[in-house]
């Protein structure tokens, strides 16, 4: 299909090189290093405040490390951030949803800014997270777990080769956790790469290839 688009599309190897970052007086990232290949999952653990979120935000280029680099396919990602960004999906604590839009509209605007989305794709993604029944409701009427599911639908819809997930199972019931587990498994089976920050066990049968523990 449309593989002539040179921007991004695969992440075969992601590498962090001696990432150092201070937040005011706090030395948050103290020389973080790892490598991640396709189809692999890196679990980042650590207590609250150990810098899990900071690490994810540094990896995706929102924060700039004072030392060290993030390399994708051996190239510094800061050399071409838009290309790197179009191949990744970052999901923070909060789903970027608007209370005054329906779940479906939210997904349409959120992902539509990034890639072409067809109605069928939207429906499929919403069905994937069991949201079909309430996807036309305004997000302000949804529960925290349901909002989380909408965010997961965005993840499923975006098809980015690299996922950066911050506590993806927060607020989810057992079924929801299963959905996260199977989404992660699918992504890995496809050859995608995942960095997931969570101090919980990864849901489902997923086992992280590597666990990176951040000391606080």
Partner 1 sequence: MRWTWFHRLASPPYLYGLAARLTPWFAWPAALLILGGLFAGLVLAPPDYQQGEGFRIIYVHVPSAWMSLMVYVTMGLAAAVGLIWRMKVAHAIAASCAPIGASFTVAALVTGSLWGKPMWGTWWVWDPRLTSELILLFLYLGFMGLRAGFDDTQRADRAGALLAIVGLVNVPIIHYSVIWWNSLHQAPSVLRFGKPTIPGAMLAPLLILLLGFTLFFAALLLVRVRAEILQRERTARWISETLSG
Partner 2 sequence: MSITDLPAGVGSALDSAPSLVYAARPAPALDAARLALSRDLVLAFRKRGQLLQPLAFFALVTMLFPLAVSPELSRLRAIAPGVLWVAAMLASLLALEFLFRDDAHDGTLEQYALSGQSLTWLLFAKTIAHWLLTGLPLALMAPFAAMSLGVAASAVPGIVLIMVVGTIALSLIGAIGAALALGMKRSGTLLALLTLPLSLPVLIYGARATELAIAGNSYMAPLELLAALAVLAVTLAPLGAATAVRISLE
The site for partner 1 (CB under 8 A) is made up of 22-25, 27, 64
**Quick one: 20 or 177, whose CB is closer to partner 1?**
20
3-class secondary structure, 122: helix
Q: Which phi and psi angles does 131 have, rounded to 5°?
A: -110, 0
22 binds, among partner 2, partner 1, none (CB under 5 to 8 A by kind): partner 1
With CB under 8 A as the contact rule, the residue among 46, 68, 191, 204 that binds partner 2 is 191
Stretch that binds partner 2, among 28-36, 68-76, 110-118, 206-214 (CB under 8 A): 110-118
- Give DSSP secondary structure letters for 13-35: EEEEEEEEEEETTEEEEEEEEEE
Binding flag, residue 211, partner 2 (CB under 8 A) = no
Q: Give the x/- contact pattern for partner 2 in 121-160, rule: CB under 8 A.
A: xxxxx--x---------------------------xxxxx
Q: Which residues pair with 129 in a beta bridge?
A: none
- Residue 197 CA to residue 214 CA, distance in Å, equals 10
Q: How far is the CB of 215 from partner 2 (least distance, A)?
A: 23
The four Cα atoms 4, 10, 109, 52 give a dihedral, to 10 degrees, of -160
24 binds, among partner 1, partner 2, none (CB under 5 to 8 A by kind): partner 1
3-class secondary structure, 146: helix
Count Cβ atoms below 10 Å from residue 106 Cβ, excluding itself: 24
Place of tokens 């490598």: 35
74 binds, among partner 2, partner 1, none (CB under 5 to 8 A by kind): none
Stretch that binds partner 2, among 12-20, 45-53, 91-99, 203-211 (CB under 8 A): 91-99
Number of residues that bind partner 2 (CB under 8 A): 60
77 near 61, Cβ under 8 Å?
Answer: yes
58 near 70, Cβ under 8 Å?
Answer: yes
Binding flag, residue 190, partner 2 (CB under 8 A) = yes
3-class secondary structure, 114: coil
Q: Which two tokens stand for residue 136?
A: 């036309």
Residue ranges in contact with partner 2 by CB under 8 A? 1-3, 5, 7-10, 57, 60-64, 82-88, 90, 92, 94-98, 100-101, 104-105, 108-110, 112-125, 128, 156-161, 189-192
């Amino acid at each position: 299909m449309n593989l002539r688009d040179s921007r991004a599309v695969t992440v075969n190897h992601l590498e962090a090189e001696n990432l150092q970052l201070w937040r005011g007086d706090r030395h948050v990232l103290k020389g973080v290093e790892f490598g991640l290949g396709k189809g692999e999952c890196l679990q980042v653990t650590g207590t609250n405040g150990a810098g899990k979120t900071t690490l994810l935000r540094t990896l995706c280029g929102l924060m700039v490390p004072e030392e060290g680099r993030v390399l994708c396919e051996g190239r510094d990602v800061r050399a071409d951030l838009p290309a790197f960004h179009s191949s990744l999906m970052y999901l923070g604590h909060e789903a970027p949803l608007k209370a005054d839009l329906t779940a479906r509209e939210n997904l349409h605007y959120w992902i539509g800014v990034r890639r072409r989305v067809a109605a069928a794709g939207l429906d499929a993604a919403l069905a994937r997270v069991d949201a079909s029944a309430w996807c036309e409701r305004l997000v302000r009427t949804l529960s925290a777990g349901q909002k989380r599911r909408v965010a997961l639908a965005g993840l499923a819809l975006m098809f980015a080769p690299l996922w950066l997930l911050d506590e993806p199972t927060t607020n989810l019931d057992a079924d929801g956790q299963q959905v996260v587990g199977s989404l992660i498994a699918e992504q890995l089976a496809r050859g995608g790469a995942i960095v997931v920050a969570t101090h919980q066990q990864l849901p489902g049968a997923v086992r992280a290839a590597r666990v990176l523990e951040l000391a606080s």
